[in-house]
Chain A
Amino acid sequence: MNFDFSDDQKQLRDQARRFLAEKCQPKAVRAVLEGKADYDRDLWKGLAEMGFLGVAIPEEYGGTGAGHLELCVIAEELGRVLAPVPFSSTVYLAAEALLLAGSEEQKQKWLPKISSGDAIGTLALFEGTGNPSPAAVKLAVSNGTLTGAKKPVADGAIADFAIVAARTGNSGRETDVSLFLVDLKAGGVTAKPLQNVDPSRQQAELTFAGAKAEPLGAANEGWSILSRVMDRAAVLIAFEQVGGADRALEMGRDYALDRIAFGRQIGSFQAIKHILADMYVSATLARSNSYYGAWALSTDAAELPEAAAAARISATQAFQHCAKQNIQVHGGMGFTWEFDCHLYYRRSNALALSLGSQSYWEDQLIDRMRQKNAA
């Protein structure tokens, strides 16, 4: 058994960490958070130059073709530093959808642009409150054009293209949904940025008024493609969450060593030690579940759906837990704008909702475990 990343992958991690330590300091995250930019363009370019955007994209489409384990490694590092770039929308969702279901022409057109940082993509699935379901997809298609609205769409206002879920039937079943690729710059779509709990990442409403809809994947197969894309993204985002959880734990630990109260380091109070020990426990469980997800993702194993849901739930819990308790360990300082604690708190909650809520993934996990047991 070798349930760990390889030495090469660990080297890649060190390389990514060094790069991000320089290019993605908290002040860069704050610049986006405070509205000075809608995403960090320099960082985005840098990620492209390092080959990180195309790490899981085959060479024939302009990527480095390294693979999905490598992408997990990068994801963790981006999560640690809260990278304020549309990486998850473009790389985990749009690129994965293209790789899974795109036509040769679509792949040729978009994947090299993703690798080189010249195109931002996103997935337009949600239509207001509620969890993903075929019945919740109302956006309509007629005569090859789309009419309706999607919100929230992560990075919707900065994206060049979107993969859009639209209704193509009325039976209320999964086969009612198809996917379309929409060039957002081609007209017929307006984007409105929306306030959200983590302004270091953008959210938008996309309104489609007769936008040209180019099918992505087979007609009426949309839901099944989506569900595979979501599973893959769940593992990758879990790594971002694991990175964030780890960093929040480190921040809490460091503060506990520095801060003195009652004449002692606060880290010598058992109540604080136990808070930090519990953060370590949740981060470790999440990391282990995510490793399993990484294995399933990289081998496209039959276990992927279950592994992805477990990684998703566990990593969401861990990041939320660590980010929340990190503020507690910091006391009043933790609630100031100056300290970085709230950046992690914000991101932990935004990521928790990014692919549908925790309860949605709980449902997914139990359904999948049940199917396995019945089989």
Chain B
Amino acid sequence: MNFDDTPQEAEFRAKARAWIDANAPKQYEEELRKASLGRVVLKGANILEVAKAWQKKKADAGWAVPHWPKEYGGRGASPIERVIWQQEEGVFGKLTAMFIIGQGMCGPTMMAYASEEQKRHYLPPLGSGEKIWCQLFSEPAGGSDVAGLRTRAEKDGDDWIINGQKIWTSGAHYSDYGILITRTDPTVPKHKGLTMFFLDMKSEGVEVRPIKQANGNSDFNEVYFTNVRIPDSQRLGAVGDGWNVSLTTLMNERMSIGANVATGFPELFDYCSSLTFDGAPALDDRAVRSKLANWAVKASGLRYTSFRSISALSKGQRPGPENSIGKLVAGSMIQEVAMYALDLQGAAGVLSGPEDAEVAGRFQAMLLRSPATRVEGGTDEILRNIIAERVLGLPGDIRVDKDVPFNQIPTKGRA
């Protein structure tokens, strides 16, 4: 039981650290440190440009996607070295949030299913941040129930013609490519009639409409497809095998461990450390202490759970469904933490402007962003199902639509 690197890991860490120290955009370090969920601002700079520049610099030195094979822009690092890199990159990792979907989910799917030529063509610019990718899975009719999607793909010679609509697509407005799951056969049960593609987001017939979110930002979009043509060569996996391909994507989502989900706890503890009630430190207050202690052990529990996963990784084991725990715990926690921080501020907690609100409104921003954490990438309920079924071995949910041809499944709850 130890926290030590092996000599090889230590060497990797030292190299990574030295490179980051010499090359990171230190002028943004302080702002990034203060950034919190829902609020990353760099004064006087365009974050997309800063992010792309940092990613490019990493790519030129082979650090952009360290765990990818060399021929696709990586350096063939082991899973544990990837984690070490993330630890060392630290706050600068916050810059690259917009690459996560592409590099974490689309890239591995391409690696598993695209042709060698396509991989050599598309993966290096994805790794280096020159090209941004999005994940076109969710639809108005299929979010948790991804396989309930209705976007159609119909064969036309060597091409496919796509019609339909995706929704909640993060980053579609600045993405160059996307991976897209479609229905190619509505007459078979829902999981069997799906097919996966990748496409150029600038293709004719693709229309991206930003959605204004509950927190006022517009990070996700609706994407409409009207007779969009995709060559068959951009199909990923066999016709009708899209569900299995999508599982590769979703499994990789979970592989992105090590990059801990924000809990809001360090921010709250900091805040309480300087807060006073009628001149007495808030940290002397019984109720405050109890709340903090309970969140502290959740935050540390998550931290050490990820250390245990890292240890398993370093022994060559694969992270499994038990990693669903991170987002499940952190999601509700950050929401509660934000609410509590506002409560501590009394009536003034309602203010959210960076000038008027306490600590520049970081908790207000958290409050307004946190509901999304509990939905994106699997809702709390879906994550609990995963733990119950795949970790604890309980029976699957009863699926009334399982053996029914897709086009006979009801589409509305109430007539």
List residues of chain A with CB under 8 Å of any chain B CB.
Answer: 1-6, 69, 249, 253, 256-257, 264-265, 267-268, 270, 272-274, 276-278, 280-281, 284-286, 288-289, 291-292, 294-295, 298, 309-310, 313-314, 317, 359, 361-363, 365-366, 369-370, 373
Cβ–Cβ contact B307 & A310, under 8 A: no
Interface residues of B in 383-398 (CB under 8 A from A): 383-385, 387-389, 391-398
Closest to A296 in B: B1
Nearest to B270 among chain A residues (CB) is A373
**Contact between A69 and B1 (Cβ–Cβ < 8 Å)?**
yes
- From A270, A274, A285, contact of B305 by CB (8 A): A285
Contact among B289, B300, B392 with A280 in the assembled complex (CB-CB below 8 Å): B392
Chain A interface helix/strand/loop/mixed: helix
Whole-angstrom distance between the alpha carbons of A270 and B301 in the complex? Answer: 25
Minimum Cβ distance to chain A for residue B381 (Å): 7
Count chain B residues whose beta carbon lies closer than 8 angstroms to a beta carbon of A: 50
| Chain A proximity of B194: nearest CB distance (Å) | 25
* B269 contacts A369, C-beta separation under 8 Å: yes
Contact in complex: B389, A288 (CB < 8 Å): no
Q: Select one of A256, A284, A289 contacting B325, CB under 8 A.
A: A284
Kindly provide the distance from the CB of B274 to the nearest chain A CB, expressed in whole angstroms: 10
CB distance from B88 to the nearest CB of A (A): 14
- Determine if B290 and A292 form an interchain contact, defined as CB atoms under 8 angstroms apart: no
Distance in Å from the Cβ of B284 to the closest Cβ of chain A?
A: 9
Cβ of A284 and Cβ of B322 under 8 Å apart?
Answer: yes
A274 to B384 Cα, complex, angstroms: 6
Residues in B with CB closer than 8 Å to A273 are 384-385, 388-389, 392, 394
Q: With A253-B392, A267-B395, A268-B397 as known contacts, state yes or no: A370 contacts B283, CB within 8 Å.
A: yes
- B304 to A, closest residue via Cβ: A288
B311, chain A: closest CB distance, angstroms? 4
10 cross-chain pairs, A with B, having the tightest CB-CB distances, nearest first: A285-B301, A273-B388, A288-B304, A362-B293, A277-B384, A277-B387, A268-B395, A314-B297, A267-B394, A3-B307
Which residues of A are found within 8 Å of B294, using beta-carbon distances? 313, 317, 362
Q: How far is the CA of A343 from the CA of B307 in the complex (A)?
A: 33
The answer to whether B290 and A285 have CB atoms under 8 Å apart is no
Given A265-B395, A366-B289, 18 more pairs with CB closer than 8 A: A1-B2, A3-B1, A3-B308, A257-B394, A264-B398, A267-B395, A270-B397, A272-B394, A273-B384, A276-B388, A277-B383, A285-B305, A288-B300, A288-B302, A291-B308, A309-B293, A363-B289, A366-B296
Contact B296 A298 (CB under 8 A): no
| A136–B308 CA distance with the chains assembled, in angstroms | 40
Question: Are the CB atoms of B325 and A310 closer together than 8 Å?
Answer: no
List B3-36 residues whose CB lies under 8 Å from chain A: 3-5, 9
Across the interface, name the chain B residue whose C-beta is closest to A288: B304
Chain B binding surface SS class = helix
Closest B residue to A5 using CB positions: B1
Q: A270 touching B385 by the CB < 8 A rule?
A: yes
List, sorted by A's number, 21 A–B pairs whose CB atoms are closer than 8 Å. Answer: A1-B2, A1-B4, A3-B2, A3-B308, A3-B310, A249-B392, A257-B394, A273-B394, A274-B384, A281-B387, A285-B325, A295-B2, A310-B297, A310-B301, A313-B293, A314-B300, A365-B297, A366-B283, A366-B289, A366-B293, A370-B273
Contacts of A2 in B (CB 8 A): 1-2, 4, 311, 314
B126 contacts chain A at the CB level, 8 A cutoff: no
Q: What total count of A-B pairs have CB within 8 Å?
A: 156
B328 at the interface (CB under 8 A from A): yes
A1 to B296, CA, bound (A): 23
Complex Cα gap A264–B328 (Å): 27
Q: How far is the CA of A184 from the CA of B236 in the complex (A)?
A: 77
B interface, CB within 8 angstroms of A: 1-5, 9, 80, 269, 273, 283, 286, 289-290, 292-294, 296-298, 300-305, 307-308, 310-312, 314, 322, 325, 328-329, 381, 383-385, 387-389, 391-398
State whether B297 touches A285 (Cβ < 8 A).
Answer: yes
Q: Which residues does chain B contribute within 8 Å of A268, judged by CB atoms?
A: 394-398
Interface contact A310-B314, CB-CB below 8 Å: no
Q: Is the CB of A1 within 8 A of B300?
A: no
Specify which chain B residues have a CB less than 8 angstroms from the CB of A285 in the assembled complex.
Answer: 297-298, 301-302, 305, 325, 329
A254 to chain B, nearest CB (A): 10
Q: Which of B3, B305, B381, B391 contacts A288 (CB 8 A)?
A: B305
Q: Which of A276, A310, A359, A369 contacts B290 (CB 8 A)?
A: A359
**Among B1, B5, B398, which residue has the most Cβ atoms of chain A within 10 A?**
B1
Query: What CA separation (Å) do A37 and B2 show in the bound complex?
Result: 42
Q: Which residues of chain B come closer than 8 Å to A256, judged between CB atoms? A: 394
A270 to B398, CA, bound (A): 10
Contact in complex: B385, A3 (CB < 8 Å): no
**Assembly CA distance A127 to B384 (angstroms):** 44
Whether the Cβ atoms of B394 and A276 lie closer than 8 Å is yes
Pairwise interchain contact B273-A373, C-beta atoms closer than 8 A: yes
> Closest approach, in angstroms, between the C-beta of B58 and any C-beta of chain A?
23
Q: Which of chain B's residues have a CB closer than 8 A to the CB of A373?
A: 269, 273
Query: Which A residue's beta carbon lies closest to that of B303?
Result: A288
The listed residue with most B CB atoms (<10 A of its CB), out of A270, A278, A281, A365, is A281
Q: Are B311 and A281 in contact (CB under 8 A)?
A: no
B169: min CB distance to chain A, Å: 28
Task: Say yes or no: A288 contacts B301, CB within 8 Å.
Answer: yes
CA distance A363 to B293 in the complex (A): 8
Question: Which chain B residues lie closer than 8 Å to A291 at the CB level?
Answer: 1, 304, 307-308
Chain A residues contacting B286 (CB-CB under 8 Å) are 359
Who on chain B is nearest to A279 by CB?
B392
* CB of B16 to closest CB in A, whole Å: 15
Closest to A265 in B: B395
Nearest-neighbour CB distance to chain B for A285, whole angstroms, equals: 3
